[in-house]
Structure 1
Amino acid sequence: MLTLHTAPLLRLTPGGEPVPDHAVVVGADRIEAVGPLAELNGAYAGVRVRRWPGTLGPGLLSDGPLPAAPTPRERVYALLRRGVTAVLAEHLADPALRAAVDRSDLLVLPAAVPPTLLQGGRADLAVLDADGACLVTVVAGRIAHRRA
């Protein structure tokens, strides 16, 4: 099922200039399209629409050790609450932590690569409020965290 994710602002990269009235269409675990909301609404009529407050952009990369928590699962969830969708392999030496990361579908990278929203790319998204707090994290096309 296709889903159109939209917010008042969209960033193609974490530090990129936000643009208004844009959206991302997600199918399974891939980005089908990125562009102006009006164009995507017309091209993908009838798809499920998720309207988020804040700024929609690519999921974030954690390039340091995972946050401390009592269990590997809680360490991973701490990342999801921040909008993180990718981690560096060098920080996953503990097999239990690596298993928790794999179960969550976080992307494990051998080196830091700036996240970007691209057609055909993996559907890793984050919605941040004006203060930078994460409202929603989408990992490989599914909502993995939503702030209540």
Structure 2
Amino acid sequence: MSTTVHAAPLLRLTPDDEPVPGWAVVVTGDRIAAVGPESDLLGAYPGARVRRWAGTLGPGLRHDGPLPAAPTPRERVHALFRLGVTAVLAGYVTEPGLRAVVDRSDVAVLTAPVPVALHSGGRADLAVLADDGRCLATVLAGRLVHRRA
């Protein structure tokens, strides 16, 4: 299983937290292995791949409404990735074709809104957001599923 350190100039543990400079997230497989100061993590995981992102790194976002309109279910799910979304509410993915794509993509399907946060042992769902709120990258269960060109 590969290990990746995701680092950015700023990191938020939750979408509402003040960003912390110099922190990073270690991902092994589909889980967060550690969150903390980048220098400490690089020392603790010397063989890890390092991905450096511009912007603010934080937890993947939760989408609390209907999925964006698009011609196909696959495109609807990919529209979420372009927003930094890694979790949706079950009530909005009831169409069989859409639900199949959501399940195949490994998007988290929640029965109720729950807070999203980065923590050791949690699922490796991350989003990197620019200062203007645009999503620069989305990591879903440890896999990079979107990167702005």
Bucket of the pairwise TM-score, normalised by the shorter protein: over 0.9
Q: How far apart are the structure 2 equivalents of 1:81 and 1:146?
A: 8
Taking structure 1 as the reference length, the TM-score comes to 0.99
Aligned partner of 2:4 in structure 1 is 3
Over aligned residue pairs, what C-alpha RMSD do you find? 0.5
Stretches of structure 2 that go unaligned for 5 or more consecutive residues are: none
Q: Write the letter of the residue equivalent to 1:2.
A: T
Aligned residues: 148
Q: How far apart are the structure 1 equivalents of 2:112 and 2:61?
A: 14
Q: How far apart are the structure 1 equivalents of 2:93 and 2:23?
A: 35
Matched, 1:81 2:78: no
Aligned partner of 2:113 in structure 1 is 112
Aligned partner of 1:47 in structure 2 is 48
- Residue 41 of structure 1, CA deviation: 0.9
Taking structure 2 as the reference length, the TM-score comes to 0.98
Aligned partner of 1:12 in structure 2 is 13
Q: How far apart are the structure 2 equivalents of 1:93 and 1:19?
A: 38
Q: Write the letter of the residue equivalent to 1:133.
A: R
Aligned partner of 1:25 in structure 2 is 26
Q: Percent of aligned positions with the same letter in both sequences? A: 70
Q: How far apart are the structure 1 equivalents of 2:68 and 2:36?
A: 34
SS of corresponding position for 2:127: strand
1:90-120: CA deviation from partner (whole Å, max 9, x where unpaired): 1111000000111111000000011100100
Q: Write the letter of the residue equivalent to 2:109.
A: V
1:40-92: CA deviation from partner (whole Å, max 9, x where unpaired): 01111121000000000000000101011110000000000000000000111
Structure-to-structure mapping, 1:93-112, within 5 angstroms = 93-112=94-113
- Residue 12 of structure 1, CA deviation: 0.2
Matched, 1:59 2:60: yes
